[in-house]
Structures are given as structure tokens and as C-alpha cells.
Amino acid sequence: MGYKKVDKTISFAELSLLSSIENNRSVKMMERISKAVNWENIEALLKEYYHIGQSHEGADAYSPLMLLKCMLLQKWFHIPSDPELENQTCPVE
């Protein structure tokens, strides 16, 4: 068991929306936050206390940093539930 791999390839839907994403205020805000925050230090701290995903048993888990970022997105954008967060962030295939 380990952490789930994040696919960083761009889908056709994301490619078609690329020009509107470049001018999106929310995306720009998240880029500024990403540059200002040292995510590596936060991830190291989280891994000290989050032991899920470190054993060799069971399915892969989400990384603690990804879970923290999801929680922040839910707070900042008033997303009421985890399923709604998945609908907001995952492209429909």
C-alpha cells in the first residue's frame, strides 16, 4: 500500500477550457497561495501524524497533503460535502 498516483496529463476537456482557466480568478488565487506556502514542510509535518498509506496492506490511500488541500477547497469555496467536492474537481469522462 502507498499513496494513490495523481495523473497530471491534461484531458481533452481541460485542454478545451485552457484559455478560460488562464483568466479564472479562483485559479489565480490558488496559484498565488501555492507560491506563498511551503507545501513540502506542511507535507512533512502531516506525514508525522498521518500513518495511513504507509503500510503494505490494503488499497492505496490519498496523501495527507492532498486531503488537506481538499479540506481547504471545501472551506474556501463553501463546498458542503465530500461527494460534491469530487463532482467539482473531477472531470466527467
Q: Per residue in 49-88, pLDDT tens?
A: 887 777 777 777 888 898 899 899 899 889 999 888 888 7
pLDDT of 2: 64
Q: What is the DSSP string of 9-70?
A: PPPHHHHHTHHHHHT-HHHHHHHHHHHHS-HHHHHHHHHHH--TT-SSSSS-B--HHHHHHH
Residue 61's beta-bridge partner residues? 3
pLDDT of 93: 39
Q: How confident is the model at residue 12 (pLDDT cuts 50, 70, 90)?
A: confident
d(Cα 60, Cα 45) in Å, to the nearest integer? 20
Q: How confident is the model at residue 90 (pLDDT cuts 50, 70, 90)?
A: low
